[in-house]
Amino acid sequence: METGFTLSNTIAAILTIGIISFLWKDNPLYKLCESLFVGVSAGYWFVSLYYQNLLPKLFDTLGLTQLFTSADIEPGAIQILINEGRVDNSFLYLIAGILGALMLTRLIPNLGWISRWPLAFIVGTTSGLYFTTYFQSNAMAQLRSTILPLDSIGNVVIVIGTVCGLVYFYFSKEHKGVMGGAARVGVWFLMITFGASFGYTVMSRMSLLIGRFDFIFSTWLGLTG
Amino acid sequence: MPLYEKLKNIDRRVIYIFIALSVIIPLVFKIAFTEQASPIVQNIFDKIESLPEGSRVILSYDYSPSTAPEIQPMADALTRHILEKDLRLYNMALWAPGHNIATETTDRIIIAEFPEKVYGEDYLNLGFKAGNEFLIAVILTDLKKMYTTDAKGTDIDSIPMMQGVKNLRNFDLILSLGGGKPGLKEWILFAGDPGHIPVAGGATAVSAPNLYPYYPEQMLGLMGGMKGGAEYESALMKIYPQYKNKSHPGIDLMGPQAIAHLVIMIFVIIGNITYFIARKRGEER
């Protein structure tokens, strides 16, 4: 990255300071930076998804682009149908295109219910794909990883932590006696886990702050040599 | 007003100023600490070290610029290590901005530090493809179904590095850098586990705890946040001392990180002390 007071660096630094200024109090510069960020992000993703998804996967594949431009693109389903008289498999993309278009019916109050069909398709296919994957990786493989010989402190901690954590979430029996003790140990394991997660979260957020300060003080101002 | 009252009612902006100073001062004065690779990071390093020359390694850029301060040190160190070992590097991205980050990393690390490496023979950029975890599921069995060209538009069959590559099973290691979805978890679930392919990588610190359960059976190593990147840099410099003179942002930025954490801990302790004093006085329950 170019260092010093270049135009792009200066704009980036001002925007960074504008966003950070919210910590002091809400102000017009922050509002400007926030709106700019939202607008640029929306624009970026729209253009990116259009050129990565809609254009190559739908318009080019079906042959719609070829109908309206003279660009050197492989013939699509429409061209194959016209030139070879063959119905190409690519016409299946039309179904996806129609389902995608149906999502937009949400914008029309009377026809909003139609958008449930593509949503049902997405939920159904995703559930189907995830069911086997999660069962294999998050249930069976995790279970296998927990069945360990108690020959090291690490293994003992994993086994006790897992069993006691599960006992805490077992509500069919009152947490008294052995069950109560195990549930209490389970809570301690959970608390330590939450603490570790919180520590990592702090580190993550600090890293972002350090990254921006590094940009301001090193890249932009050049104070760190 | 007694000290206790002052501390109890401390303005949040005072805390912000202390945090800012705890970052700025170590940054300006370059305060850094030594790092030692933990076993979970060392495992990734050892795996790459053990791969024979010419092995195929995927490096998936599954992040955007917003998390680059945490992830980029890992990408730089991994790229250096992979090319130093003469492995074949396949860059790709499940996130759209990841493609640009991969290109920027290529310009800054590969072209600048490894000018002898040839595009298409030693390293390749497959670019971004939409599809998230579904993309991984497809390329597990047929890579060319999704990738007909590389990021530059070159026909995939004409690229020397792609000869003999049918699907993900032809790769020796998959590395994913990210933290969001899709990311390392999706690579484990949709490629590593069903394809029995070694998977490792790095993640933002905030998402690292969710990935630990996959170690070591389903994921051979993990770099968690900036600390993970710094540890990998230290492991790399230990074996390849020439990188001591190159950039190592992970180690450099861990100085401010450590000081800032210290300041946060001090405020947490102060907060707890005032809480217990207040409870003792019967002010709060």
Which one of B69, B130, B194 has the shortest CB-CB distance to A210?
B69
Q: Give the percent of chain A with pLDDT over 70.
A: 99
For residue range A110-146, what is the model confidence (pLDDT) as tens digits? 999 999 999 999 999 999 989 999 999 999 999 999 9
DSSP classification of residue B174: E
Divide the 285 residues of chain B into consecutive groups of 10 and give the mean pLDDT of each group: 80 94 94 94 98 97 93 97 98 94 96 96 94 93 92 93 96 95 95 96 95 94 96 97 93 95 94 89 68
Same domain, B161 and B268: no
What's the confidence (pLDDT) of residue B280? Answer: 87
Which residues in chain A have their CB less than 8 angstroms from residue B19's CB? 209
The residue-averaged pLDDT of A206-219 equals 94
- Listed in sequence order, the residues at least 6 apart from A21 whose beta carbon sits closer than 8 Å to its beta carbon are A27, A29, A30
Domain ranges of chain A: 150-225
For chain B, the C-alpha Rg in angstroms (whole number) is 22
Question: Are A200 and B260 a contacting pair at CB < 8 A?
Answer: no
Q: How far apart are CA B154 and CA B167, in angstroms?
A: 18
For chain A, the C-alpha Rg in angstroms (whole number) is 28
Which residues in chain A have their CB less than 8 angstroms from residue B13's CB? 23-24
Question: Are B209 and A193 a contacting pair at CB < 8 A?
Answer: yes
The residue-averaged pLDDT of A162-187 equals 94
Which one of B19, B68, B225 has the shortest CB-CB distance to A204?
B225
Q: How far apart are CA B224 and CA B201, in angstroms?
A: 9
Question: Are A207 and B205 a contacting pair at CB < 8 A?
Answer: yes
Number of domains in chain B: 2
Nearest to B201 by CA among B224, B175, B183, B178: B175
Interface of B with A in 100-119 (CB under 8 A): none
Test the B interface: residue of A46, A50, A92, A210 with most B CBs within 10 Å: A210
Which residues in chain B have their CB less than 8 angstroms from residue A225's CB? 30
Same domain, B135 and B154: yes
Q: How far apart are CA A167 and CA A160, in angstroms?
A: 10
pTM: 0.90
Same domain, B55 and B71: yes
Q: How far apart are CA B63 and CA B183, in angstroms?
A: 8
What's the confidence (pLDDT) of residue B3? Answer: 80
Element containing residue B96 per DSSP (H, E): helix B96-105
The residue-averaged pLDDT of A81-109 equals 92
Same domain, B190 and B276: no
CATH of the domain at B138: 3.40.50
- Domain range for B259: 3-30+255-280
Same domain, B236 and B259: no
Which one of A57, A129, A207 has the shortest CB-CB distance to B225?
A207
Which residues in chain B have their CB less than 8 angstroms from residue A197's CB? 209
Classify residue B285: in a domain, yes or no: no
Q: How far apart are CA B193 and CA A137, in angstroms?
A: 7
What's the confidence (pLDDT) of residue A225? Answer: 57
Count of residues in chain A = 225
Nearest to B130 by CA among A45, A85, A154: A45
Other C-beta atoms within 10 Å of A194: how many?
11
What's the confidence (pLDDT) of residue B237? Answer: 97
List Cα–Cα distances, A124 to A193, B127, B163, B189, B235, in angstroms. Answer: 33, 29, 37, 19, 45
